[in-house]
Structure 1
């Protein structure tokens, strides 16, 4: 996959191409959005994280989880492409005290059956209800400013789920997350998903993480244009 085309990087100069919205990009692995009046970052983000190897994946997602924990967010990690043990090992190697974070309720690990396939099948409405429930519980009943959900999406490749519904779900989230104090990080293995699907994934996420670059996705198409009858 052409990294320069995905990130908007100038292939000749090696620099990122303008323009970007004020406050939208982040330095390093931190996801930030436009600043609110209180000068706190807007965490209403929907992020696609693309990777080809486990090393690439963990190098990108683990700092995002660590950043969420440091910001006082409740972080949820949904495992599928990797066993939980591998994810925990990568987090510990990055300096995250996994045991303490889990014991405090700041960090939790989940399966596809408890999240994406809650009733044995992929029902987008159920997944969105799960995110809404977890966010409201954390921010209204708990002491968290927001939640951060990082999900491995390879469960969608088992042949039992409609790819069209998956893409529609991803596009729908762009209208859901602005209403929640939630960062959603959807992790896609570019070697397992077809180029056609990855192309649609890129177009359905406002923010993109790929090959060490975090920023606005210049290929994103807002849902109002996707679902418009015209």
Structure 2
């Protein structure tokens, strides 16, 4: 396990590595949580990565700038990256769990080589609502992140709009995150399932479906 590094979210002091699902019912609630998290990271010289739909980048950067972040400076230095879902999660018009896992792993290794002691990442998962090929690998991907995060000083917040995703999907997503943000508060997730156990269950379910 990588060394633990401090960070705070929702007013709580925590330690990375940590994989968190954020359930939000509005854009405002989402930003109330992630803006202080991002600001703290930039002040602490953490690497900060935001992934969201490309058509939201202008709004997102304006929101960061309105909160005192020197966008151009941070982007040029490489400390802050604002990436598009279209170039990451669903590059080429499809999702592939192993490919995205490898992309994130390489990003974390690059951040470490660049001298960053910790990484903070927020990913808006709205891309999964497009039902592009491979979207059914989302649960597998989220589970595998719990094998990746302990190897790095990283905190990941996967952001889900509770008004857009089905209750069944949100219930499944809960299985893959040790911590959950809901109603602006973070807590240990009682529904979390260890990744190897969950991945085995997913594999068995797929095998059963193929046989039937």
**TM-score normalised over the length of structure 1:** 0.77
Q: Which residue of 1 aligns with 2:110?
A: 137
- Aligned: 1:51 with 2:33: no
- The within-5 A match list for 1:12-161 is 28-29=10-11, 32-33=14-15, 43-80=16-53, 83-140=56-113, 142-161=114-133
| Preserved contact between residue 124 and residue 158 of structure 2 (Cα < 8 Å) | yes
Q: Which residue of 2 aligns with 1:182?
A: 154
How far residue 181 of structure 1 moved from its aligned partner, in angstroms, is 2.4
| Preserved contact between residue 93 and residue 132 of structure 2 (Cα < 8 Å) | no
Gaps of 5+ in 2: 205-212
How far residue 72 of structure 1 moved from its aligned partner, in angstroms, is 1.7
Q: Which residue of 2 aligns with 1:212?
A: 184
**TM-score normalised over the length of structure 2:** 0.83
C-alpha spacing 1:30/1:139, structure 2 compared with 1 (3 Å): farther
How far residue 82 of structure 1 moved from its aligned partner, in angstroms, is 6.3
Distance 2:26 2:56 in 1: 14
Gaps of 5+ in 1: 1-22, 34-42
Higher helix share: 2
Distance 1:151 1:123 in 2: 16
Q: Which residue of 1 aligns with 2:143?
A: 171
Higher strand share: 2
| Preserved contact between residue 75 and residue 108 of structure 1 (Cα < 8 Å) | yes
Q: Which runs of 4+ in 1 moved over 4 A?
A: 23-27
